[in-house]
Amino acid sequence: MWSEQKKVIYFLILTFVSSYALEFYTIFNGGVDNFGMWLLTSLMWLPALSSFIVRFWSKDWSDIGFRTGPIKAYLLVLIIPLALSFFSFYLCSFWDIRKMGIIDGVPVSKIII
């Protein structure tokens, strides 16, 4: 039987290695412009894939449960991100921010890469 700590370590290693591998592949093959939504979707699903791989290896599916919770929790999960998105949008509109940059109009995306 695998310990919980061992499962977490394998999950983190798999997630980091797979996401960094995908990022490096993307960077050295033309960047995000060549991959678009495929890249973002793949990166989003890598932790789930890592979790399934670790669960398959450890043969432990006992902690997965699909239970319903209180309706208040579901409403908060929907309303909070929506409210933050609208707040950010209106804040950027108020300050007339179209493109984020640090120095001399260089976009953040160029600096990060």
Please state the rounded mean pLDDT for residues 18-27: 88
Domain ranges across the chain? 4-101
Higher pLDDT, 97 or 18: 18
Residue 32 and residue 40: Cα distance in Å, rounded?
Answer: 9
Give the other-Cβ count within 10 Å of 26's Cβ: 19
pTM over 0.75: no
Whether residue 106 has pLDDT greater than 80: no
* Backbone torsions φ then ψ of 107, nearest 5 degrees: -65, 150
pLDDT the model gives residue 64: 77
SS (H, E, C) the chain: CCCHHHHHHHHHHHHHHHHHHHHHHHHCCCCHHHHCHHHHHHHHHHHHHHHHHHHHHHCCCCCCCCCCCCHHHHHHHHHHHHHHHHHHHHHHHHCCCCCCECCCCCEHHHHHC
Q: What is the pLDDT of residues 90-105, one digit of tens each?
A: 887 777 776 554 556 6
The pLDDT of residue 103 is 57
